[in-house]
């Protein structure tokens, strides 16, 4: 009898027998250990170790030129009193709500519309997904043309007689943040749509059939069959959205640099400008730690539960 | 049946194997390294010049100079051009790296001293011994507080209000000399339906600092300006507030679209007759079509208080070298070449040409524009450079925030100046 | 009748939406064929009044995009391959065997992917110097592999865990070791997931900017995304040349997407369907 009892997958009806469970204490094959350790080591070298250093830097004052000076939690107390940091935190929450919320709604809606294979659906899906494959520099350029004074946005408004709305979209503190969310959504909705399309595809058609037999209409089927079945997908979408929101940097940096005067500043852009423009690397690292903790706090609870269920 | 032997020894043995596996991966990586790009032998190899001159004409000019240097036979060099925005954020990384490039394009003055005080720059006093022709003023800004030279200048340029001669003729207006005349000019232009003052702050918010610098040196004088930028005066001082009171008088004449586009677009707007004049450094010419340059002229920033000695912004561009260069002799040979008449004339002929060579015997382009610019700088009692060059690259973002906010919300000036002081203190503190 | 109407409404709505999505891209493509004088005279928001392909020549040769594309491929192809191999190995061991602490390991690896990359920039650049890899394409490959591994492992883990166990049990009974089970049983079944991840990671690594400027400093080693930024610095107001450069930089990922579209769309959400 092998000690290499495979962790039986959830899809196999029986599940692990109690006998197999008791074998947990056994050690795995060394080759398997290597399978795990090598990738883990690579990630340790390029991610964990630098991250630990980053945590350490957050406790220092450092201009990147001279060796860092240890100052304890000085950077964190300064953060607490920093108005720009508070503004960035608020903007990040707005970003999370708007960017996150709208890309879920938009992505889910598109997935529902495009889930059935019919003529043209492939093209529509491809169209919505295309922006996902572009880099930030490409996206920023496309949208910069759109927002230019007398650019596409202004021309469109003029064409429909709304020229009184025209303003310097990216340079007006009232609109800058929202003008940046739009391109971010443009890239994200296609991505979320694909996640949901896969989720919808995985739902057993028999469930819908059964509901239909019971006389449920389309809306009831959506509410009582589709949405509950998508729990797994929702989890992944949530993680993706939170990570992407907190990490959203490229597009904001490319379009506004967090300006004008911090009005579109997110934690990620403030971190970058504190570290690399003001050369306050310790302070920047402290902001990065805050971002990390926020991401972890939102996601960890969910992930742990997901793992407990599955593994 | 199982191939698994639970004995601890064997287990450890396999762990060792895992270690070999990891090593294998890393040697695979280094194999990639040597095939993709062989490491350069620094000690005997070419001098590497890291350049931020990324506009096409300036880039070509720099490459030409290095080509000439290599032909000369006194050493070998390569130039490596990086997009200027990337260069700005990466410069500290370049300088502090274990194996840094030898030579860098950058700015003279306090911004270079800042790096020198951290022992990152090569002492190039030897090179300066051969630069007897250079004026004392350039020697001064190339010298760090300990008295050694750490910088070799190549060119400098000036800032001014640029305009199209044909437009001023068409509108029947003259160059203003005083602040009052300037305001009258703005009013006239506005009545002609033109946005009088062009500006480009989207993406290039630092352009606003030219306004702050000039108003401050016209009202409070260059010495106060330098002290302010060195952290010895406060941004919430009433004298600084006075600067903004003047600025406010002309705010209504700024092109409202200028907030949204960079200075390059503002240049296009000036050339397309959409704005009347534009306070900018001569580098803007790199973004202008060559045939448009003939119609351009400029005037000096108007005098506000005749009692204040006239100062002008004259940023000096040039080179400093890494203290860690593996080949100091070769680096200095290249610096000597870059400081020569021949190299600087090559640069001026191959680039847009609206710059002044640092070497007094090198010939500037003989366009009327250049003659006028040179005369303005020669007549100035004092020279400053530019906000970041007279302070540090780290202080610049605090100015960008304060100044763009002022342009948007001039009523909040007191709060803006308080915030500016707070964020500046953080930068000075580090 | 109602059905035809609904179909019509669906296609009208979706076509408009697709146009909204593709419009900005088409605009940039159109802009890349305009002359500088046209843009200067009519602005970027105007319809084309001219046609030229010289912009592409400028971006390709003067802007150095050819070199940059080669660099991008030299980095992206090995980085994708290495990431997938390593992630597949780890996911295999973690999902099919009771490795002690596997949940913690998987969570840790994924957590590494949650880190804001900015916090890693300075230490990574110092570390690549220490190992002598700084300013080599190998450093970029290594950091791309390291940073991506957590996510790829997580996704492949989700996929492999759901593969039926019978084949593996049969192979184990036949005396196959984990290596053989991986190569002969699990890997073939994982191919769709690998294809999807491969296509996805290709676009991510190809599009990267931050890591490239962190570990590279020589312009002729820069991949296409930082090179495009350089091109913008070079041709600031020449929107047409920048647009041409943008099109060139976007074409490879677009080709990968179109070629592997099926994998993208059906397989992207492997992690999602658990």
Q: Is B287 found in the same domain as B251? A: yes
User: Per the domain annotation, does B32 fall within a domain?
Assistant: no
Q: Is B108 found in the same domain as B85? A: yes
Asked if A129 and C264 come within 8 Å (Cβ–Cβ), the reply is: yes
Domain of residue B257, CATH code:
3.40.190.10
User: Which of A3, A149, A262 lies closest to B4 in CB terms?
Assistant: A3
The pLDDT, as a whole number, for residue C237 is 66
Residues of chain B under the 70 pLDDT cut: 1-44, 287, 430
Cα Rg, chain A, nearest whole Å: 24
User: Which of B90, B98, B268 lies closest to C129 in CB terms?
Assistant: B98
Interface test with A, best of B1, B12, B202 (most A CBs within 10 A): B202
Residues 6+ apart with CB under 8 A from B28: none
User: Per the domain annotation, does B344 fall within a domain?
Assistant: yes
Q: Is B356 found in the same domain as B294? A: no
pLDDT band at C265 (very low <50, low <70, confident <90, very high): low
User: Per the domain annotation, does B92 fall within a domain?
Assistant: yes
Chain B positions touching A33 (Cβ under 8 A) are 14-15, 18
Asked if A277 and B397 come within 8 Å (Cβ–Cβ), the reply is: yes
Look at the block and give the residue holding tokens 């502090």: B96
Domains annotated on chain C, with CATH: 2-56 (no CATH), 67-271 (1.10.3720.10)
User: Per the domain annotation, does B111 fall within a domain?
Assistant: yes
* A280 touches B at CB < 8 Å: yes
Q: Is B303 found in the same domain as B320? A: no
User: Per the domain annotation, does B270 fall within a domain?
Assistant: yes
Asked if C114 and A296 come within 8 Å (Cβ–Cβ), the reply is: yes
pLDDT in tens, A246-282: 777 878 887 888 878 888 899 988 988 888 777 788 8
Chain A positions touching B423 (Cβ under 8 A) are 84
The pLDDT, as a whole number, for residue B27 is 32
User: Per the domain annotation, does B90 fall within a domain?
Assistant: yes
Q: Is B261 found in the same domain as B207? A: yes
pLDDT in tens, B344-380: 999 988 877 788 998 888 888 888 888 999 999 988 8
Cα Rg, chain B, nearest whole Å: 26
Phi–psi pair at B149, nearest 5 degrees: -85, 135
Helix (H) or strand (E) holding B246: helix B238-250
User: Per the domain annotation, does B295 fall within a domain?
Assistant: yes
CA–CA min distance C83, chain A (Å): 9
Interface test with B, best of A71, A152, A260, A280 (most B CBs within 10 A): A260
CB A106 within 8 Å of CB A99? no
Indicate if ipTM > 0.90: no
Q: Is B307 found in the same domain as B424? A: yes
Q: Is B356 found in the same domain as B222? A: no
Chain C positions touching A307 (Cβ under 8 A) are 103, 106-107
* C43 touches B at CB < 8 Å: no
Give the Cβ contact number of residue A300 at 10 Å: 15
Q: Is B182 found in the same domain as B254? A: yes
Among chain B residues, CA nearest to C142: B29
User: Per the domain annotation, does B372 fall within a domain?
Assistant: no
User: Which of B118, B265, B401 lies closest to A66 in CB terms?
Assistant: B118
Among chain C residues, CA nearest to A138: C246
Domains annotated on chain A, with CATH: 28-70 (no CATH), 75-310 (1.10.3720.10)
Question: Which among C48, C186, B228, B400 is positioned nearest to A273, based on CA atoms?
Answer: B400
Q: In what order do the strands lie in the sheet with B103-107?
A: B77-81, B47-51, B103-107, B316-321, B152-156, B356-357
Q: What is the 3-state secondary structure (H, E, C) of A187-218?
A: HHHHHHHHHHHHHHHCCCHHHHHHHHHCCCCH
* C230 touches B at CB < 8 Å: yes
Domain residue limits at B201: 159-313+379-429
Q: Is B271 found in the same domain as B176? A: yes
Q: What is the mean pLDDT of residues C104-110?
A: 87
* First-last CA distance in chain A: 23
CA–CA min distance C135, chain A (Å): 16
The pLDDT, as a whole number, for residue C81 is 95
Q: Is B117 found in the same domain as B81? A: yes
The 8-class DSSP code of residue B303 comes to B
CB B300 within 8 Å of CB B160? yes
Question: How many separate domains does chain B show?
Answer: 2
* C118 touches B at CB < 8 Å: no
Residues of chain A under the 70 pLDDT cut: 1-27, 299, 301-311
Q: Is B134 found in the same domain as B121? A: yes
The two beta strands, B152-156 and B77-81, are: unpaired
DSSP result, B369-422: HHHHHHHHHHH-SEEE--HHHHS-TTTHHHHHHHHHHHHH-GGGHHHHHHHHHH
Q: Is B244 found in the same domain as B97? A: no
CB B126 within 8 Å of CB B340? no
């Amino acid at each position: 009898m092998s000690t290499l009892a495979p962790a039986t997958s959830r899809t196999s009806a029986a599940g692990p027998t109690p006998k197999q469970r008791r074998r947990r204490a056994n050690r795995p094959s060394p080759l398997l250990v290597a399978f795990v350790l090598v990738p883990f080591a690579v990630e340790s070298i390029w991610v964990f170790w630098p991250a630990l250093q980053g945590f350490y830097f957050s406790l220092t004052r450092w201009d990147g030129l001279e060796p860092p000076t240890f100052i304890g939690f000085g950077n964190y107390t300064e953060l607490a009193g920093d108005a720009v940091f508070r503004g960035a935190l608020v903007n990040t929450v707005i970003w999370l709500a708007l960017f996150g919320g709208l890309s879920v709604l938009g992505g889910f809606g598109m997935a529902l519309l495009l889930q059935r294979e019919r003529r043209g659906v492939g093209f529509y899906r491809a169209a919505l997904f295309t922006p996902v494959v572009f880099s930030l520099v490409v996206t920023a350029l496309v949208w910069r043309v759109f927002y230019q004074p007398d650019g596409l946005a202004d021309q469109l408004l003029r064409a429909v007689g709304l020229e009184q709305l025209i303003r310097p979209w990216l340079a007006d503190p009232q609109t800058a943040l929202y003008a940046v969310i739009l391109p971010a959504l443009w890239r994200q909705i296609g991505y979320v749509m694909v996640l949901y399309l896969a989720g919808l595809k995985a739902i057993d058609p028999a469930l819908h059939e059964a509901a239909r037999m019971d006389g449920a209409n389309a809306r009831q089927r959506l509410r009582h069959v589709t949405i509950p079945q998508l729990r797994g997908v929702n989890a992944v979408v949530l993680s993706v959205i939170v990570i992407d929101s907190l990490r959203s940097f490229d597009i904001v940096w490319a379009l506004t640099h967090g300006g004008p005067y911090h009005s579109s500043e997110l934690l990620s852009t403030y971190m970058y400008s504190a570290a690399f423009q003001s050369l306050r690397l310790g302070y920047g690292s402290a902001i990065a730690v805050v971002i990390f903790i926020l991401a972890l706090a939102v996601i960890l609870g969910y992930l742990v539960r997901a793992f407990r269920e599955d593994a | 049946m199982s191939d698994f032997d639970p004995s601890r020894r064997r287990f450890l043995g396999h762990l060792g194997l895992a270690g070999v596996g990891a090593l294998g991966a890393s040697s695979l990586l280094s194999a990639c390294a040597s095939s993709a790009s062989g490491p350069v032998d620094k000690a005997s190899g070419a001098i590497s010049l890291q350049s931020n001159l990324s506009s096409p004409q300036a880039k070509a000019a720099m490459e030409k100079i290095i080509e000439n240097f290599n032909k000369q036979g006194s050493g070998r060099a390569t130039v490596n051009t990086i997009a200027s925005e990337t260069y700005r954020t990466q410069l500290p990384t370049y300088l502090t790296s274990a194996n840094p490039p030898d030579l860098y394009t950058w700015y003279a003055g306090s911004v270079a001293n800042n790096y020198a005080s951290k022992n990152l720059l090569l002492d190039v006093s030897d090179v300066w011994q051969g630069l007897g022709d250079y004026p004392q003023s350039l020697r001064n800004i190339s010298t760090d507080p300990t008295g050694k030279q750490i910088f070799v200048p190549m060119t400098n340029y000036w800032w001014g209000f640029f305009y199209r001669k044909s437009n001023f003729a068409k509108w029947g207006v003259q160059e203003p000399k005083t602040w009052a005349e300037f305001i009258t000019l703005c009013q006239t232009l506005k009545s002609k339906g033109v946005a009088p003052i062009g500006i480009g702050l989207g993406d290039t918010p630092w352009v606003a600092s030219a306004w702050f610098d000039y108003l401050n040196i016209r009202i409070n004088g260059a010495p106060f300006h330098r002290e302010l930028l060195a952290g010895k005066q406060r941004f919430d001082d009433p004298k600084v507030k006075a600067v903004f009171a003047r600025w406010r008088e002309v705010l209504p004449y700024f092109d409202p679209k200028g907030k949204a586009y960079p200075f390059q677009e503002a240049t296009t707007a000036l050339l397309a007759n959409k704005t009347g004049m534009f306070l900018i450094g001569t580098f803007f010419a790199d973004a202008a079509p060559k045939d448009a340059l003939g119609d351009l002229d400029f005037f000096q920033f108007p005098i506000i208080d005749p009692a204040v000695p006239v100062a002008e912004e004259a940023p000096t561009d040039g080179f400093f070298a890494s203290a860690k260069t593996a080949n100091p002799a070769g680096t200095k040979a290249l610096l000597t070449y870059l400081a020569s008449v021949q190299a600087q004339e090559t640069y001026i002929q191959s680039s847009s040409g609206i710059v002044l060579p640092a070497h007094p015997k090198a010939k500037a382009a003989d366009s009327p524009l250049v003659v006028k610019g040179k005369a303005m700088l020669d007549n100035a009692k004092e020279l400053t450079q530019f906000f970041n060059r007279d302070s540090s690259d780290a202080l610049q973002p605090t100015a960008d925030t304060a100044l763009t906010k002022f342009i948007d919300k001039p009523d909040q000036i007191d709060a803006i100046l308080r915030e500016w002081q707070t964020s500046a203190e953080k930068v000075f503190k580090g | 009748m109602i059905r035809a109407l609904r179909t019509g409404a669906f296609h009208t709505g979706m076509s408009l939406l697709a146009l909204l999505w593709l419009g900005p891209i088409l605009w940039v493509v159109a802009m890349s064929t305009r002359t500088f004088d046209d843009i200067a005279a009519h602005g970027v928001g105007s319809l084309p009044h001219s046609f030229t392909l010289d912009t592409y020549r400028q971006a390709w040769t003067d802007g150095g995009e050819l070199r940059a594309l080669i660099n991008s491929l030299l980095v992206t192809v090995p980085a994708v391959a290495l990431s997938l191999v390593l992630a597949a190995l780890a996911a295999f061991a973690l999902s099919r065997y009771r490795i002690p602490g596997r949940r913690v390991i998987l969570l840790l690896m994924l957590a590494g992917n949650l880190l804001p990359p900015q916090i890693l920039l300075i230490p990574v650049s110092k570390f690549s110097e220490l190992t002598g890899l700084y300013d080599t394409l190998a450093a970029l490959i290594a950091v791309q592999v390291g940073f991506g591994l957590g996510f790829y492992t997580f996704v492949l883990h989700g996929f492999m865990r759901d593969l039926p166990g019978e084949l593996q049990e049969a192979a184990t009974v036949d005396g196959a070791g984990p290596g053989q089970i991986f190569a002969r049983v699990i890997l073939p079944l994982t191919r769709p997931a690998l294809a999807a991840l491969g296509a996805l990671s290709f676009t991510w690594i190809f599009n990267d900017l931050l890591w490239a400027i962190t570990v590279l400093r020589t312009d002729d080693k820069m991949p296409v995304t930082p090179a495009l930024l350089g091109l913008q610095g070079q041709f600031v107001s020449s929107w047409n040349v920048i647009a041409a450069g943008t099109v060139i930089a976007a074409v490879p990922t677009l080709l990968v997407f179109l070629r592997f579209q099926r994998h993208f769309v059906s397989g992207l959400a492997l992690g999602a369907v658990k």
